[in-house]
Chains A and B, each alone.
Chain A
Amino acid sequence: MAFEGLAERLQSTLKKIRGKGKVSEQDVKEMMREVRLALLEADVNFKVVKKFVNDVKERAVGQEVLESLTPGQQVIKVVNEELTKLMGGEQSKIASASKPPTVIMMVGLQGAGKTTTTGKLANHLRKNHNRNPLMVAADIYRPAAIKQLETLGKQLDMPVFSLGDQVSPVEIAKQAIAKAKEEHHDYVLIDTAGRLHVDEKLMNELEDIKAVASPDEILLVVDAMTGQDAVNVAENFNERLDITGAILTKLDGDTRGGAAISVKAVTGTPVKFAGMGEKIDALEPFHPERMASRILGMGDVLTLIEKA
């Protein structure tokens, strides 16, 4: 696999520490070097890593860690705790407007999974919350984007609002909400076109949609395989739109998913759901502590600690 090596490296560091009665600052430093590598290999942004490593070091050289019986393990424990904290300790819920419909806007880069996730979210709201959402096809640019959402609607037997690809997304959003009120839909899910965070014109369009739709949630859909650029993307979308949360897609792959940390770190908003497959029911609530273990390769590390 892509990330072998971390386990061995940590093991040898742990071995060294295990043999010693006392653990020095130098030992902690060495260990944090390995942790830094692990985080970078997991695609956590290097600036976030830098700050994180410094924070942990500060805590780890404290008395209670260095003088414990199992300092190596204590360091890892601190790392895991801090990582979970960084990602937002608790699982978060989707908004529910006091006066329906609740409007949710899906935004993000091209190919991140917005359209698929719109379908999944509609399914989730109906199945688990007994809601009656209206999906809105507001991507007029990508070839067959409307058809894609309509196909998902058909699979789910749920309505999709569309005005074709000759009407502006702003107008589509406006009319969709009116329609939702008329037909008593309690959620409106707006699927927008993928766009680069540096595309002035299309980012303006999102602001315009936001202005007419007054969404209760703006969810940034992020591919879990995203690398260092995740911070730029999250920063820009957040600056423009004040996003309320993120959805991490394609977590059914073998990526460590460090982008989750980067997004949380720069936007301060929680990751709310995880996409776990291409199928319409492959959406799960996001669990920060599980994600922390995954990013660090904690499965391996925990086994190591048991061995140590």
Chain B
Amino acid sequence: SKTRHSFVGAMNELIKDYRKVDEDFFEELEEILISADVGVHTVLTLIDELKDEVKRRNIKDAKDIQPVISEKLAELLQKSDDETELKLKEDGLTIILFVGVNGVGKTTTIGKLAHKFKQEGKKVILAAGDTFRAGAIEQLEVWGERAGVDVIKQQSGSDPAAVMYDAVHSAKSKGADILLCDTAGRLQNKVNLMNELEKVKRVLTKEVPDAPHEVLLVLDATTGQNAMSQAKTFGKATDVSGIVLTKLDGTAKGGIVLAIRHELDIPVKLVGLGEGIDDLQAFQADQYVHGLFADVLEQAEEVAKE
């Protein structure tokens, strides 16, 4: 039964044990952030900035550095409240394209999101754009059944761009509100596959000029530094508008999103918290940052109890 701490509260507890802002303090902070996959460059930059601030403001006590850390992390992650919201059209068809490397959770997230929109009373259609992986179409169909929405598909092995073309026409003729487009997982260094993805996106734009309205890059929280390369390459190929961070129900923290935000300014919009249909939430920076320090907090609590 974990209470939900606010970010400021979390930081308060983190630094409670420290009397002084010294090298040990910074070393521990560095390790916390590195073990959360934030990435050594971002961590070192952050820590350097903090050290400067400490000097500038003549901070000696750990308590006084807390607002500085919270400022820095919070401003990194979320700049405004509405940036985590998906851009949906007031009326007419909204098209959302899902991209990412293999096995991160694209198809599952589509299932969850379809359910969410359906519950909100929207008419949703899914496009089975992964025509490559064994069982991919059937997997999306199961999600379609669970959510109670239609799936537009072609045979396995067919051209994904052709599936998208079909799906957009079908969505239009059925008067759908939302079209969620699944794509095959692909590693970002596969040039052919990235070209194929660009083509898929072009088809959507050709059929609906302002589409896709969102391009969501799905990142697995378990992934380390390679997620930066994923964000860069998928970003270049498909102009990613937001990130879905999946598998946060494990012990991985997905801290690389901090670096991605810092370097590429792509916001996290959704988080995946399990394999169930309801395990999808809007991203909240304060909750997330609390998660980054959760282990330390638990240790601190245990120590306090002893």
**Contact present for A41 and B223 (CB under 8 Å):** no
Kindly state the separation between the CA atoms of A61 and B215 in the bound complex, as whole angstroms: 52
Kindly state the separation between the CA atoms of A225 and B101 in the bound complex, as whole angstroms: 10
Q: Which A residues lie at the B interface, using CB under 8 A?
A: 1-3, 5, 37, 40-43, 45-46, 109-113, 115-116, 119, 141-145, 147-152, 155, 196-198, 223, 225-229, 232-233, 250, 252-256, 258-259, 278
Residues 245-270 of B, flagged 1 when their CB comes within 8 A of A and 0 if not, give 00101111100100000000000000
Is B59 part of the binding interface, using a Cβ–Cβ cutoff of 8 Å? no
Please give, as numbers and ranges, the residues of chain A lying within 8 Å of B225 by CB-CB distance: 2-3, 41-43, 227, 255-256
Q: Which of B30-38, B69-77, B115-123, B170-178 contacts A (4 or more CB under 8 A)?
A: B30-38
A-B pair count, CB < 8 Å, reads 147
Q: How far is the CB of B233 from chain A (nearest CB, A)?
A: 9
Chain A CB within 10 Å, residue with most, of B37, B138, B146? B138
> Across the two chains, which residue of chain A brings its CB closest to B193?
A278
Q: How far is the CB of A1 from chain B (nearest CB, A)?
A: 7
Is B133 part of the binding interface, using a Cβ–Cβ cutoff of 8 Å? yes
Please give, as numbers and ranges, the residues of chain A lying within 8 Å of B284 by CB-CB distance: none
Question: With contacts A228-B34, A229-B251 known, is A258 near B220, CB below 8 A?
Answer: no
**Contact present for A148 and B250 (CB under 8 Å):** no
> Across the two chains, which residue of chain A brings its CB closest to B32?
A46
Q: Which of B50-58, B102-110, B196-204 contacts A (4 or more CB under 8 A)?
A: B102-110
Kindly state the separation between the CA atoms of A201 and B111 in the bound complex, as whole angstroms: 24
Please give, as numbers and ranges, the residues of chain A lying within 8 Å of B36 by CB-CB distance: 228
Question: With contacts A46-B35, A229-B37 known, is A148 near B139, CB below 8 A?
Answer: yes
Please give, as numbers and ranges, the residues of chain B lying within 8 Å of A250 by CB-CB distance: 101-103, 187
User: DSSP majority for the A interface?
Assistant: loop
Is B165 part of the binding interface, using a Cβ–Cβ cutoff of 8 Å? no
Given contacts A144-B139, A225-B224, A227-B37, 15 further A-B contacts (CB under 8 A): A2-B226, A2-B229, A37-B40, A40-B34, A43-B224, A143-B111, A144-B138, A196-B249, A197-B251, A198-B250, A225-B227, A229-B250, A233-B222, A250-B102, A255-B229
Q: Which B residues lie at the A interface, using CB under 8 A?
A: 31, 34-37, 39-41, 101-105, 111, 132-136, 138-139, 141-143, 146, 187-190, 220, 222-229, 232, 247, 249-253, 256, 275
Q: How far is the CB of A97 from chain B (nearest CB, A)?
A: 28
**Contact present for B250 and A46 (CB under 8 Å):** no
Please give, as numbers and ranges, the residues of chain B lying within 8 Å of A5 by CB-CB distance: 41
Q: How far is the CB of A142 from chain B (nearest CB, A)?
A: 8
Q: How far is the CB of B12 from chain A (nearest CB, A)?
A: 25
Q: How far is the CB of A8 from chain B (nearest CB, A)?
A: 13
**Contact present for B135 and A278 (CB under 8 Å):** no
Q: How far is the CB of A88 from chain B (nearest CB, A)?
A: 21
